[in-house]
């Protein structure tokens, strides 16, 4: 990322807004560029495949589910934040992911300019590609400020996206069972 270009662009953006409190805004371009580079879009510097470590899985195990993984991302259409919860399930074949690695994969993809649909698919694809599980199911529930702060201004409207791979795509009954678990049920 080019922090200097981002700083210059923010300075131009602020000039386009018009006169403001010069002293208060003096270092704003540098602060904004740092926030974007160091946090908001830091996922561009992370390869999800490298952080998704695994160990051998015991044969015949059931699904692995991680619910309520908080995430925040930036909408690629309006450059406004959206945030919510990711719910991730996979049915291991030979590889079992380290538990914290699932959350790290969600963050690596979320910390990029995204649409929620693409984010959901990217998480599912990373798990499929690295773990080679029998199935993957990813559900994202998020509130988008591009819908709550502008446009229709519908507070608390939540978008839900679902991506399935492998057995969870091919077998609707298995997908339904796991969706029930992801919603907080016991099966």
User: How far apart are the C-alpha atoms of 64 and 146, rounded to whole Å?
Assistant: 33
HSE at residue 124, side-chain half, CA atoms within 13 A, is 23
Q: Quick one: pLDDT band at residue 185, thresholds 50, 70, 90? A: low
Tokens describing residue 115: 């649409």
| Closest C-alpha among 127, 103, 132 to residue 43 | 103
User: How far apart are the C-alpha atoms of 151 and 144, rounded to whole Å?
Assistant: 11
Q: Tell me: the pLDDT tens digits for 109-129?
A: 999 999 999 999 999 999 999
Q: For the chain, which residues make up each domain, given as ranges?
A: 3-40, 55-182
Residue pair 93/134 in contact by the 8 Å Cβ criterion: yes
Q: Quick one: pLDDT band at residue 60, thresholds 50, 70, 90? A: confident
Q: Tell me: the pLDDT tens digits for 90-100?
A: 999 999 999 89
Residue 187: is its pLDDT beyond 60? no
Q: With a threshold of 0.75, does the pTM exceed it?
A: yes
Q: Tell me: the pLDDT tens digits for 12-31?
A: 999 998 877 668 888 999 99
User: How far apart are the C-alpha atoms of 101 and 97, rounded to whole Å?
Assistant: 7
According to the model, what pLDDT value does residue 151 have?
Answer: 82
User: How far apart are the C-alpha atoms of 82 and 17, rounded to whole Å?
Assistant: 24
According to the model, what pLDDT value does residue 186 have?
Answer: 53
Q: Over the chain, what is the mean pLDDT? A: 93
Instruction: Please state which of the four CATH numbers 3.30.1130.10, 1.20.1730.10, 3.40.50.920, 3.10.20.340 is assigned to the domain occupying 55-182.
Output: 3.30.1130.10
């Amino acid at each position: 990322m080019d922090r200097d270009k981002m700083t210059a662009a923010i300075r131009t953006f602020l000039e386009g807004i018009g006169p403001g409190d010069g002293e208060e805004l003096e270092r704003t371009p540098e602060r904004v560029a740092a926030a974007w580079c160091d946090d908001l879009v830091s996922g561009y510097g992370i390869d999800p495949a490298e952080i998704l470590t695994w160990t051998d899985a015991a044969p015949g195990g059931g699904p692995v589910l991680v619910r309520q993984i908080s995430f925040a991302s930036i909408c690629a259409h309006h450059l406004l934040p959206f945030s919510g919860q990711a719910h991730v399930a996979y049915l291991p074949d030979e590889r079992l992911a380290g538990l914290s690695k699932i959350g790290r994969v969600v963050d690596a993809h979320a910390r990029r300019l995204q649409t929620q649909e693409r984010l959901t698919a990217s998480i599912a694809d990373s798990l499929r590609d690295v773990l080679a599980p029998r199935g993957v199911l990813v559900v994202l529930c998020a509130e988008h400020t591009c819908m709550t702060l502008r446009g229709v201004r519908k507070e608390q409207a939540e978008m839900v996206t679902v991506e399935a791979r492998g057995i969870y795509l091919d077998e609707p009954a298995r997908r339904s069972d796991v969706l029930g678990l992801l919603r907080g049920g016991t099966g």
